[in-house]
Structure 1
Amino acid sequence: MSDTIFHVQIVTPSGGVVYEHGATHVRLPGEDGYFGILAHHADLMASLGTGKVEITESGDTRVELALCNGFVQIREGGVKVLAEAAERRERIDVERAREAEARARKRLENDSNIDRGRAEAALQRALMRQLVARGN
């Protein structure tokens, strides 16, 4: 793995800058699977799905975030992520995520007049938050 540091910024509409720091490696959840980024990566814009973001900072410090849908722009200056939602592992309220999971499951099981796509996205978001909070 390269030890060259590049700038990483993750922003959400409601939370502003969720993460901003130098990194040596980033792993993001693309719509078609995970992909890694090192310094001097080719310029790229891509859609992101729901999943875990893994960032390796200098000194092998690792940061993990739960991310829900968005876009990434990779340029020589670094990596910028605009996500619908993103939350650092240490800030995830596990009980709140469990409650969100229960609500989403109940809607999917009991309510035929719902937007299924939205309810399924809420379920995936709640499950991912719990997974990241456990450190998996």
Structure 2
Amino acid sequence: MLWIKAFHIISIITWFAALFYLPRLFVYHAMSDDKISIERFKIMERKLYRGIMMPSFVLATIFGAWMIVENWTYYSIQYWLYAKLTLVVPLIAYHFYCGHLLTIFKANKNTRSHIFYRWFNEFPVLILVAIVILVVVKPF
């Protein structure tokens, strides 16, 4: 089970790296006005989302579910886990909204400024802090 936990943590780290970096690319993409930069950002965003962000999300979900299923007797009464999973839901929505934004940028239909994406980029940080506190401290 420690191997599954290790792979879950690795997947989470990779997923969060992508969750932090893709919106940062959106910031720079929204600031770009030359065709070469715009096309470069489209490629970078697509490769990050499809090649790193989506696979790490899937693996984190699989390994996390595996741990819960294998240890259901323990986890079923751990209320911190329910709080954590509640926070994971908006994080998943954020993940897929990033995919939606990717489609908007790909079609050259972005209407938001780089300032919006700078603020947008902060959301996963708040979720990460709360989740780490729940998992480590287990306040309830």
TM-score normalized with structure 2 length: 0.28
TM-score normalized with structure 1 length: 0.29
Structure number with the higher strand fraction is: 1
- Higher RCO (C-alpha under 8 Å, 6+ residues apart): 2
The structure with more radius of gyration: 2
Structure number with the higher helix fraction is: 2
